[in-house]
Structure 1
């Protein structure tokens, strides 16, 4: 079933995100931006965690997570250990929520915004996996660019 595959992919990429965050020589490097790079790795990591906890945890899993999207991009100097813990908690949430989804759940309409094109929950979950991979690539590149 797709949920098993997505769980493996999400956990794999979130583990890689933890690895990337740990590879920064200093915590301050995670928060650096330079000409042409508007988002730091720290902010992208917070965004990934917020995104998954909102769209999968809160919406599909009925968790108590309340997203503060603006803080995902405005917070600065959150400790490496805090970010790693948030990523670990997100992996746990995914491992709890995704297996509960049935094939019928996956075929339900996922309405993210009014007037948005029709999409199934299955489609949106694949989108979220690709969104994570996109930002993970940005973080990897950021880490190698920041001195």
Structure 2
């Protein structure tokens, strides 16, 4: 079933997100922006955590998570250890939510207002994760210098 594949992919990339944040030589660099780089790696990390906790945890898993999207981009200088903890918690939420979804649940319309199945939207969310993960990797290689 696709659920197992999604679990493997989300696990791989959320662990890679954690690894990217851990790989910054300077914790301050996580929050840097530059001329054409308007989002720091820290804010992108918070955005991914918020996005997955909202769309997977709250919407599909009834986790009770309340998203504040504006804070995902306005908070600064969250300690690296806290970012990593948030990523680990998000991975737990995503995997446990996917564990509870049946094949029938995956074929239901996702409660977003657009015509797409839950399966389709989970694939879309994985693409979103991968896109921002690539941005974080590039951000680290460009701006992690003192």
* Interval of TM-score (by shorter of Structure 1 and Structure 2): over 0.9
**Partner SS, residue 39 of structure 1:** coil
Deviation at 1:67, TM superposition (A): 0.5
User: Does residue 33 of structure 1 match 2:33?
Assistant: yes
Deviation at 1:98, TM superposition (A): 0.1
2:96 is matched with which residue? 96
2:125 is matched with which residue? 128
1:145 is matched with which residue? 142
Moved over 4 A (4+): none
**Partner SS, residue 78 of structure 2:** coil
5+ residue gaps, structure 1 = none
Separation of aligned partners in 2, 1:89 and 1:46: 12
Aligned residues: 144
User: Does residue 57 of structure 1 match 2:54?
Assistant: no
Q: CA RMSD in A?
A: 0.8
Separation of aligned partners in 1, 2:92 and 2:68: 20
- What is the TM-score of this pair, normalised by structure 1? 0.95
- What is the TM-score of this pair, normalised by structure 2? 0.96
Separation of aligned partners in 1, 2:104 and 2:81: 38
